[in-house]
Chains A and B, each alone.
Chain A
Amino acid sequence: MSHPSHAQPSISSVFTALVRRDVTLAWGQGGASLLALGFFLIAVSLFPFGVGPEPQILARIAPGIIWVVALLASVVSLDRLYQADYEDGSLDDLVLSPMGLVGIAGAKVLAHWLSTTLPLAVAAPALAVLLNFPDEGYWVLVGSLLIGTPALSLIGSIGASLTVAVRRGGVLMFLLILPLYVPTLIFGVGAVDAAVMMGDPLPHLALLAATTLIALVVSLAASAAALKLALE
């Protein structure tokens, strides 16, 4: 390299630095994580008021409610994923870091998952109690959310990067992302339903994991390409 005075930086520590910064920002003042978690708690607890307090009905629709609301809560938190950095200029700095755009997208998605969508999976059992969720489904509910939530962050990253330069792009992002969430939703709810109805949740979980892996392959490259366009 052109300046021998310092060694080539280690990409992994740059990556960790970005993940740590984003997690700190997400839990800090005005961060998205508490908002998403609050949205998740409130929206789920609205359903007993709307549908009525019959335990059987609530137990039947609980997997769907929890999954759909987790999905919405993740989208709510996504619109600032890249936009905050774009607006204050730190996205330019990130691009000039030794990491590359795919690495940036990867770090930001990992931070979003750790700070925002993973807490949703952790909070889900508490809400399941509220909905009279059957005991035998708890492990599969948490397991399906753990496997499926990375896909929510990954797919959301595509929408967030495409709308990064769009003012008030939040609604546009909703329209772009929600259809792409359908496979994750189907397999996630399918696994929980299978567990509750004494079926075998494994095939559903395997397909859910496949969806997440496909999202991992596609979304980082897509996000990087969209960010490159946004910087022009």
Chain B
Amino acid sequence: MTDANPIFDSGTRLSGSGLACRRGGRRVFEGLNFEVQAGDFLSLTGKNGSGKSTLLRLIAGFLPKKSGTISYSCSGNASDFLVSDDFMLVGHQNGLKPGFTLRENASFYYRLMTGSTPAAKRLQIAADIFALDSLLDEPVQYFSSGQRHRSALMRLPLVARQIWLMDEPTVGLDADNRAALAALIQHHMACGGIVIAATHDPMGVAGNVLDMDQFQPNTGNSDDMDEGWL
């Protein structure tokens, strides 16, 4: 976070084609294609239940896909499976332990992802971005929900990972922190990072939009029910 020079591989490409996913026998989306490369911002829009979160979890490798392929390549080395080491997910749950202070939570996250202990300065810089510096040594259980959400976002500048998967990152953020998040995303893109965000609000970042509603399967055909999961 100290310079704007690209620190990530500029040859990284992530694309999906013909993706389909089912949740509990219901087809969430099908025939979905997307492509992002280093420095891209992709926002996923669509009504509730259109599969925005599902797509993010599919990309992160949590969910199996029904059909289609996700291909990932960096500097010409194509790989069929995704390297989880390059992902960072910010979801609805913030992954914070209430009994720990924010500093302990953030240090643990850093150690978990990198295997080393973060320098105090690094934590301080990451906390400053979302105005959390005064809360660093407070236990997370006394935080408001907005503060918890900002604490969860603090992982983004803390650990260097190229692909950010964000599920409604602006929910519960005030105007100042939305601006801080937009600036952070722009900085990440300038460094060659990739951001895929599911959102209902404009993020204030220029990028491509993937409207999930266009990949809705035709409903009304009861034969669509997948019996395989039963």
Cβ proximity bits B172-200 to A, threshold 8 Å, 1 near / 0 not: 00000000000000000000000000000
B113, A25: Cβ atoms closer than 8 Å: no
Nearest-neighbour CB distance to chain A for B209, whole angstroms, equals 25
Q: Which of A11, A13, A96, A232 touches B111 (beta carbons < 8 Å)?
A: A13
Q: Which listed segment binds A: B28-36, B81-89, B213-221? A: B81-89
Stretch at the interface among B4-12, B40-48, B119-127, B130-138: B4-12
| Cβ of A5 to closest chain B Cβ, rounded Å | 5
CA distance A88 to B91 in the complex (A): 10
Which of A1, A5, A90, A92 is within 8 Å of B85, CB to CB? A1
Contacts of B63 in A (CB 8 A): 231-232
On chain B, the residues within 8 Å of A2 by CB distance are 8-9, 12, 74-75, 83, 86, 162
Tell me, in angstroms, the Cα distance from A90 to B90 when the chains sit together: 10
Tally B residues with Cβ within 8 Å of A.
38
B114 to chain A, nearest CB (A): 5
CB of A84 to closest CB in B, whole Å: 8
B1-59 with Cβ < 8 A to chain A:
7-9, 12
Contact status B97-A25, CB under 8 Å:
yes
A19 to chain B, nearest CB (A): 11
Residue B212 is within 8 A (CB to CB) of chain A in the complex: no
Task: Give bound CA distance, A94 to B61, whole Å.
Answer: 13
Selected from A5, A17, A29, A231, the residue in CB contact (under 8 A) with B160 is A5
- Give the residues in chain A near B74, CB-CB below 8 Å: 1-2
Interface residues of A in 77-115 (CB under 8 A from B): 87-90, 92-99
| Chain A residues whose CB sits within 8 angstroms of the CB of B83 once the complex forms | 1-2
Known: A2-B8, A10-B115, A97-B112. A88 touches B86 (CB 8 A): no
A76 at the interface (CB under 8 A from B): no
Least CB distance, A32 to chain B, in whole angstroms = 13
Report chain B residues within 8 Å CB of A96: 60, 84-85, 87-89, 113
A residues in contact with B97, CB < 8 Å: 21, 25, 88, 90
Please give me the residue from chain A that is nearest to B108 by CB atom.
Answer: A21
Q: List B contacts of A24 (CB < 8 A).
A: 100
> Which residue from chain B places its CB closest to the CB of A17 in the assembled complex?
B111
| B62: contacting residue among A14, A88, A231, CB under 8 A | A231
What 1/0 mask marks residues of chain A from 53 to 87 whose CB sits below 8 Å from any chain B CB? 00000000000000000000000000000000001
Task: Encode A131-159 as 1/0 by CB contact (under 8 A) with B.
Answer: 00000000000000000000000000000
Contact yes or no, B93 A89, CB < 8 A: yes
A30 touches B (CB below 8 Å): yes
The yes or no answer to A18 lying at the interface (CB within 8 A) is: yes
B207 lies within 8 A of chain A by Cβ: no
- Within residues 148 to 176 of chain B, which ones have a CB less than 8 A from any CB in chain A? 160-162
A contact residues vs B (CB 8 Å cutoff): 1-6, 9-14, 17-18, 21, 24-25, 28-30, 87-90, 92-99, 231-232
B residues sitting closer than 8 Å to A (CB atoms) are: 7-9, 12, 60-64, 74-75, 83-89, 91-97, 99-100, 108-109, 111-116, 160-162
Known: A25-B97, A88-B93, A89-B95. 12 other contacts (CB 8 A): A4-B9, A9-B114, A11-B115, A14-B112, A24-B100, A25-B100, A88-B95, A92-B60, A93-B113, A96-B60, A96-B87, A231-B62
